[in-house]
Structure 1
């Protein structure tokens, strides 16, 4: 009771948040050396980094669940990443469950941006991320091990990446063109662990590229609660409440 009464002396602290919304590359981003974990480390004591990655999902499914994941709330959402396309760009004949036609993919991205705007998350707080390039030879081995044929092509993934960039231009959001940036180094294989998902180097690369876009959006965020040396130990309530 005494603790509850003490806490009632100060206003409720609400951490701002960054929401990472995407497929498996986002879901895995909090693993060791993951890009989401790196982002959370940079933003500790400033805002929460919330992982809403959904392995295997495409934009057709993502747009349906987004309103269940992000709503108007007391917590301030200071940034949202939308990172889909690796599954949408799967070849229709070989992976019809995950495949989404290119035009629908673009429309789904626009739909999600429009929804976020409807819950007061403006364009300047949204970052689209294109799928990374696909290393076909390595991903084919993964497919064959499961009794499947190669079900994705890098050139097709590139078409979806270009569509993602165009949606960002049309809607006025920021965009991280991972597909193009990773291929500036002609041998991009070191960025990928299995031809599709990110390696440690790929996670580090994405974290650095994303931070360069987020830093200007989040640089004004203050540290929450005072540094311990600044707490008045003779009267901590004065500092903490």
Structure 2
């Protein structure tokens, strides 16, 4: 019996903090992207709740080896923890300039591992609704530890660093505040995404991802094209893939 050739699935890797970790929950933006890419590639959730860009750059080589292979895109979504106010949350706070350097180092590592610049998508922290987040902090006996104005500084740094690295960027901080009069509808607690916020991220991210993944074939034939009398002929071959029919 001939050796069966293993199928290597391309990957879209979502790298970020809790907003990424939670993205596979019901109605999450990561789940939406994974659904769109079913049978074409694996969407891998590498979100780490509470992490900042410093911790991210430390763990990245453990998550994506060098050389990397068959990566269609990587999203890099940090800043919501980095922008924590130093006097209120020194554990997560990262100074603005250091945040920029960390993001740059993350991009440099990805490129050194073989992920081309055009496959890297930075995502800025979303806007923060001060009053809603202050309620969350107060419920834990803490003072307000983040503000939207400071989050905006980190978002701007993210946009600038992406340009310096030759990477794409999704500026959520700007887009969400331009889109509706009250951007709090995009947030569940002032910081994390609501269902509507998840839909917003999924829609805007897909616009950037689509051109990077639309060439990927449908893996393994459509069931209607399988010769039911001799299925091995097409299921074990390296021939043309099926179409995207799902019924």
For normalisation by structure 2, the TM-score amounts to 0.93
CA distance in 2, matches of 1:87, 1:9: 49
CA distance in 1, matches of 2:104, 2:68: 25
Aligned positions, number: 235
Q: Once the 2 structures are TM-superposed, how far is the Cα of residue 74 of structure 1 from its aligned partner?
A: 7.1
**4+ aligned runs moved over 3 Å, structure 1:** 72-75
Q: Once the 2 structures are TM-superposed, how far is the Cα of residue 75 of structure 1 from its aligned partner?
A: 4.5
2:127–2:148: 8 Å Cα contact kept in structure 1?
Answer: yes
Q: Once the 2 structures are TM-superposed, how far is the Cα of residue 72 of structure 1 from its aligned partner?
A: 3.3
1:203 aligns with 2:198: yes
CA distance in 2, matches of 1:12, 1:53: 28
Question: Which residues in structure 2 correspond to 1:184-199 (within 5 Å)?
Answer: 184=178, 185-199=180-194
SS of the counterpart of 1:128? strand
Tell me the residue number matched to 2:119: 125
Q: Once the 2 structures are TM-superposed, how far is the Cα of residue 220 of structure 1 from its aligned partner?
A: 0.4
2:52–2:79: 8 Å Cα contact kept in structure 1?
Answer: yes
**CA separation of 1:74/1:162 partners in 2, compared to 1, >3 Å: closer, same or farther?**
closer
Question: Which residues in structure 2 correspond to 1:92-103 (within 5 Å)?
Answer: 92-103=86-97
For normalisation by structure 1, the TM-score amounts to 0.96
CA distance in 1, matches of 2:25, 2:67: 28
Tell me the residue number matched to 1:239: 234
RMSD of aligned alpha carbons: 1.0
1:54 maps to which of 31, 48, 52:
48
**CA separation of 1:75/1:231 partners in 2, compared to 1, >3 Å: closer, same or farther?**
farther
2:11 maps to which of 6, 10, 17:
17
1:15–1:75: 8 Å Cα contact kept in structure 2?
Answer: no
SS of the counterpart of 1:62? helix
1:228 maps to which of 223, 227, 230:
223
CA-to-aligned-CA distance 1:61-92 (integer Å, 9 cap, x gap): 10000000001367511100000000000000
SS of the counterpart of 1:27? helix
Question: Which residues in structure 2 correspond to 1:70-109 (within 5 Å)?
Answer: 70-72=64-66, 75-109=69-103
CA distance in 2, matches of 1:194, 1:52: 22
CA distance in 1, matches of 2:43, 2:187: 24
Tell me the residue number matched to 1:160: 154
Structure 2: gaps spanning 5 or more residues: 237-247
Structure 1: gaps spanning 5 or more residues: none
Tell me the residue number matched to 2:135: 141
Q: Once the 2 structures are TM-superposed, how far is the Cα of residue 9 of structure 1 from its aligned partner?
A: 4.2
SS of the counterpart of 1:148? coil
2:68–2:113: 8 Å Cα contact kept in structure 1?
Answer: no
CA distance in 1, matches of 2:39, 2:85: 43
